[in-house]
Chain A
Amino acid sequence: MEDHFIIEQVKNPETANYGFNLLVREYQERIYWHVRKMVIDHDDADDLVQEIFVRVWNNLSKFREDSSLYTWIYRIATNECLNFLKKKRRRFFLPIGDVEGELSEKLTSSQHVDGNEIELKLQKALLKLPDKQRLVFNMKYFEEMKYEQISEITETSVGSLKASYHHAVKKIEDILNED
């Protein structure tokens, strides 16, 4: 589905709901998985995805089409994820390690997680990274985005992203090879 067609539909008051429905169907899976990998828990991801699309609806008038719809929605989703994790720490005065422990526990106990030993180990190692670094790693490694795309979404230079990804890979490999 062409982004331009979706935007046209949403901006027309008579087809706004239809257009927005198309938009959600087009992006829901990518956004859900982007969020889910950050917050781990399905219910949290579900709440956040709904919030993200409500935000998209409320801010469509501000979308100037100087970036792609995909980049713009991803940017909103990324900010929501980071804010969610920040609030989680602030609300319970949790140090980084405790949030990591909570998310790690969810990986082990959730009925919506299914992986072999090494896959679980990789996911748990990822939780030891700072949120922004984990986000960059997920986009590069799992979502196989180009640095230029990640740069547009995170508004960070390609050089910084490369350095961040390189450090993340090294840290994760160290953790995986610890035993």
Chain B
Amino acid sequence: MKKKKIQIESLKKSNIHRTPDGYFEDLPVRVMSKVEEQKPKTWFLEIPTFVRWPVAAIPAMAVLIFFIFNDNNELTNEELLASIETEDLIAYLESSDLSTDELIDFSQMNNLEMEFDHSDADLLDGIDFEGEGIEDILNDFDIENEIL
């Protein structure tokens, strides 16, 4: 005799899984204690990310502004940067619109300036700007011939 084919829709839909006694009575309490335990920020007090970064960047901005507007500033760029916390700098850069390419360009530009400063200093070494040094140089220099 041919065996009758089993069809899913003809089967009784029963749940074979069981839970421990009283499981659903306890679950809300356990969920609430897990919420408390993990201490996620209460969502209605949460500070959005777009506000968090600029707030974190305030110390870096304050130090930069202080040195920019302070005439007695004798610190070099390196010393100035060294005085700012790395985290504050990162936060400032994160919050600014500067792209990585722009930062690289900026750092290369600074390096060029520093190199030029050094060569400039070498060139001007030994010239007496206070006395007659410049006048002597100008007198020795035949401007008209040079231009022509």
Contact = CB atoms under 8 A, between A and B. Distances in A.
A111 B14 CA distance: 17
Contact of B34 (A16, A25, A37, A54): A54
Interface residues of B, number: 29
Given A17-B32, A32-B24, A112-B17, A173 B7 contact: yes
By DSSP majority rule, is chain A's interface helix, strand, loop, or mixed? helix
Interface in B2-41: 5-8, 11, 13-20, 23-24, 27-28, 30-32, 34-35, 38, 40
A118 B18 contact: no
Contacts of B35: 20, 53-54, 57
A120 B16 CA distance: 8
Interface in A119-143: 119-120, 122-123, 141-142
Contacts of A145: none
Nearest to B9: A169
Contacts of A13: 42, 44-45
Interface of A: 11, 13, 16-17, 20-21, 24-25, 28-29, 32-33, 36-37, 40, 42, 46, 49-50, 53-54, 57-61, 107, 111-115, 118-120, 122-123, 141-142, 169, 172-173, 176-177
